[in-house]
Structure 1
């Protein structure tokens, strides 16, 4: 009986050790995935233009990010509240890439978006030889 008890104890100890080892590995992988998802979602929120004349809300749909106008000074722009001006943005660690519609010139630009700080959204828009860079501020 003592031999069987030692064998069972050893086998149980090995199972617990394996369970803990694989549990730790799975936990670490989940933590890494969660952090990556958190980081990619960092642009989600409300942002105000540098001139304080427009606000957009960036949101996630499926694996892409979009931005719609939620407020703007009247009669200044060709866009309207509710228009989607940022679309098909994908996270490309450590920045985001996609398209931006610039209503003032009625044109699409390639967008490269980064977060210099948690409260600053740096938007670099390029269309051919035209390049604009603006830093938007997070609205709380």
Structure 2
């Protein structure tokens, strides 16, 4: 059976120019530093959120001002800005009890850098999440 040339051209064109949605690369389950909890990052319309879905039974909680529980929303309203960068969101910091501005940078497929800051990203703290899946 012969395929019309148009199908061959469409196949070649789609192979060379396939488009992936890089914005969804952060969606999934991530371990916090020290693997004390897991955060699920998910997308709602064009924004990204993160909530705690698991906390290690032996996780240190005495130095936290806010006692996060499963379901606690830790990331809110991040938007995809450019390759491997999500900005404009908020990070809830259980250590201080504050909600601050944030940005996320995907370093590689298994490493997500999350920076929480007040005012300028220069004045903040970065935590590294590792993919759990």
- Please confirm whether the aligned pair reaches a TM-score higher than 0.5, indicating the same fold: yes
Partner of 2:86: 96
Kindly tell me the number of residue pairs found equivalent between the two proteins.
120
1:22-55 CA-to-partner distances (Å, cap 9, x unmatched) read x79x959x833xx1x2x10000000001121111
> Is 1:44 aligned to 2:3, yes or no?
no
Q: Distance in 2 between matches of 1:96 and 1:58?
A: 12
Q: Distance in 2 between matches of 1:27 and 1:116?
A: 28
Q: Is the CA contact 1:115–1:122 (under 8 Å) kept in the aligned structure 2?
A: yes
1:111-130 CA-to-partner distances (Å, cap 9, x unmatched) read 11011110001111112474
CA RMSD, Structure 1 to Structure 2 (Å): 2.7
Partner of 2:76: 87
Cα shift at 1:90: 0.3
| Structure 1 unaligned blocks of 5 or more | 1-16
Q: 2:112 aligns with which of 109, 121, 124?
A: 121
Per residue, is there more helix in 1 or in 2? 1
Q: Is the CA contact 1:108–1:127 (under 8 Å) kept in the aligned structure 2?
A: no
Partner of 1:133: 126
Q: Which has the higher contact order (CA 8 A, sep 6+)?
A: 2
Q: Is the CA contact 1:68–1:82 (under 8 Å) kept in the aligned structure 2?
A: yes
User: 4+ runs of 1 displaced by more than 3 Å?
Assistant: none
| Structure 2 unaligned blocks of 5 or more | none
